Chains A and B, each alone.
Chain A
Amino acid sequence: MTTAPIKVLVAKPGLDGHDRGAKVVAAALRDAGMEVVYGGLHQTPEAVVEMALQEDVDVVGLSILSGAHMTLFLEVRRLLDGAGLASVLLTGGGIIPAADAEQLGGSGVGKLFGPGTTLGELAAYIEAEVGRRRAAGERT
């Protein structure tokens, strides 16, 4: 029996069509040894959660540049919890004001990353968070 690689779903919910950031992040997490499911553009929160369920991912990472982050992150979190995926880390990035990120953090959303984040920081955060959840037996 082996420790499974960390599995991450990277997707872009909502209407903005700028997927370069999501692709750069997906490639960086792959290079950090993770298995990254690329979910693509224009996903609804329902579709994101259905993918997370079918793929049994440890992490859902959303890229949101449209300004709709408050609605989308909370909706995905609510649907994840409703689907029995409360142990899945929800994180992401985009143009998200610090006050908004803090408020989301209080509602079960993980750390959110803005411009200037290094790819190493992102991978290290995910490894630490998933490692903690696995050690606590929340995830296997």
Chain B
Amino acid sequence: MSLAERSDPRFAEAHRELAPRLGVARRIGVTGPPGAGKSSLVEELLLRWRAAGKRLGVVAVDPSSPFSGGALLADRVRMSRLALDSGVFIRSMATRGMFGGLARATDDLADVLDAYGCDLVLLETVGVGQSEIDVARSTDLTVVVLHPGGGDTLQAMKAGLMEAADLYLVNKADLPGAERVAAELADMLDMRAEGATRPPVLLASATRGDGLDQAVATLDRLLAESEASGRLLARRSANAERRVRRLVDAHLTREAWGTAAGLDDALKRSLASDPAISPHALAEQLVRLYGAGRKESS
């Protein structure tokens, strides 16, 4: 895991050995705004799956500071009842400059937990706003956790996060307003679904323990349905394609801006000699320069 987090080339090698054992674990994303109760809910879900004898893994992501690069990873403090349970492995990670709600190596860490023999791997995102939906592209199923006080129906109708869920959990159902949030959300989803099936909306309270058995049963059912209908496989193949594209993008970016390609130098020189140069024109020049360099070296 630590090799993956450091982008150590030895991880790619090690991953080849993991590969034959991958794909067994079901991956569930848990996302939602800060303070919605994601970590507390995750603990409650884990306790129930543990009682059912499942082996569990969690990758919990919290934000890195864009200023110091440091991070405070405080998700597992909400999962302390599982600290000594050998059937649960919890790993915290910082976003390190990524802005989609997960970190660069989150998929890799989930792979390690999968190969290690977990039945379920939960990916908990940072507290998200409206558009950080990377988690839907790294998991088989996405849970969006909401809470009363998060805004009116118009907020729920906006694009992005609110389209990414396979299940909505309105947490803090012990507080006033939770039922209204759930009802408005259900209305909005009915409007959009026009008769087709739409994601369920459930009320839960992590502090009181309400609604959690039902949440676990619903998640188990959704996973089983997704597998039976072939949607699970389709989603995994779309996710795999995106993941490879991301890796290629990262590789090309590193190569293009590495010293050997000379783009970085050319960029600085061009801007110094002609500060008013069109950014588009300069970008085209640099891409051509990169292409020429590639031809020469091959």
The chain A residues found within 8 Å of chain B, CB to CB, are: 1-5, 26-27, 29-40, 43-44, 46-47, 50-51, 54-56, 140
Contacts and interface: CB of A to CB of B under 8 A. Distances in A.
**Most central of A30, A35, A51 by chain B CB within 10 Å:** A35
A44 B83 CA distance: 10
Interface string B3-33: 0011111000000000000000000000000
A1 B105 CA distance: 13
Interface on chain A toward B: helix, strand, loop, or mixed SS? mixed
A37 B80 CA distance: 13
Given A50-B84, A51-B83, A56-B2, A5 B77 contact: no
What size tier do the contact residues of chain B reach?
20 to 34
Given A4-B5, A55-B92, A31 B77 contact: no
Given A1-B8, A5-B69, A35 B94 contact: yes
Contact of B9 (A1, A27, A31): A1
B50 interface: no
Given A40-B77, A47-B83, 6 more contacts: A30-B72, A33-B69, A40-B80, A46-B84, A51-B76, A140-B2
A38 B68 CA distance: 18
B84 A34 contact: no
A54 B91 contact: yes
Interface of B: 1-2, 5-9, 64-65, 68-74, 76-77, 80, 83-84, 89-92, 94, 96
Contact of A26 (B72, B91, B94): B72
B83 A50 contact: yes
A38 B72 CA distance: 7
Nearest to B3: A140
A4 B71 contact: no
B68 A36 contact: no
Contacts of A51: 76, 83
Contacts of B2: 4, 56, 140
A79 B9 CA distance: 32
